Amino acid sequence: MERKVNWRHLPLALVSVYALFPMYLLLINSFKTKTEIITNPMGLPSKWTIENYVDAWVQGNYSVAYINTIIVTGVTVILVCILAGLAAFALSHIQTPGSNAFLGYLFISMSLPVGFIPLFFMAVKMGLINTYMGIIIPYVGGGFAFNVFLLRAYMLGIPKELIESAKVDGCNTLQTFYRIIVPLSKPAIIIVMIFTALGTWNEFFLANAFLQVEEVRTVAVQYLNFSSKYSTNWSLMAAGGVISVVPMIILFLLMTRRFISGLQEGGVKF
């Protein structure tokens, strides 16, 4: 029996090709010489070589940049999950004075742009330039309101009877949060973790301004080493681009099933 073609998938296939084509060019050009990229940028390499990756790793100082990025991303994800999770729990299941006003403040903070110059001068005054916390604090604060709303919407679907039964069993507020709320909110927390990790790993603007010495620079900032005002080494830039994005691609592929299930469960609760 012949299978019918579902033409509704055609637009999705076209969008996928459009989205993946730049990654395809980046990958094949990372195995070419600088001359071949200029003469044949779209075709496959005539001779595959991994020298670009070795040179890019050394010139980009990726051994240090990877450690810096992992530290910044890991600490940011942990702080976002803890702080946004506690705030969402308080706003969804703990009746505190001023909670509605705080929700309004969070909504307004999502609407107003945060200027770069105030952030930079605050970091200078506090001695946070060229430190991990100098960019971790803006990263955590930048997505705080959105993550609180996302987690709060999910936690509102958790029955209050579970919270009350935990209190009857002798759990205090923090124990109720870690033993009841966190396990039941795992799909939403995973979504927050993925979005935060992707955004932090790829962020460039603040990292480039706040991290001015190579010892603390992240992967996104070190990528600039392959481009200058007068020349660009396209082969090393392609290899460096692949080195920069591979960890996040692997993370997303490993977490895709959990990510989709989290969206589906969240959709039912919303």
How confident is the prediction for the chain on average, in pLDDT?
83
Give residue 270's pLDDT. 43
**262 pLDDT more than 60:** no
Give residue 133's pLDDT. 92
**149 pLDDT more than 60:** yes
Asked if 163 and 200 touch (Cβ cutoff 8 Å), the reply is no
**230 pLDDT more than 60:** no
Q: Hey, what CATH class is 58-269 in?
A: mainly alpha
The string of DSSP letters for 126-182 reads TT-TTSHHHHHHHHHHHTHHHHHHHHHHHHTTS-HHHHHHHHHTT--HHHHIIIIIH
**263 pLDDT more than 70:** no
**266 pLDDT more than 80:** no
Percent of the chain with pLDDT over 90: 17
For 163-185, write each residue's pLDDT tens digit.
Answer: 888 888 888 888 888 888 888 88
**93 pLDDT more than 90:** no
First to last CA, the chain: 41
**245 pLDDT more than 90:** no
- φ, ψ for residue 229, nearest 5 deg: -65, -30
For residue 6, count other CB atoms closer than 10 A to its CB.
8
Q: In the 8-state DSSP scheme, what is residue 227?
A: B
Give residue 74's pLDDT. 94
For 34-80, write each residue's pLDDT tens digit.
Answer: 888 888 888 888 888 888 898 889 888 898 999 999 999 999 999 99
Give residue 176's pLDDT. 86
* Least confident window among 196-205, 221-230, 242-251: 221-230
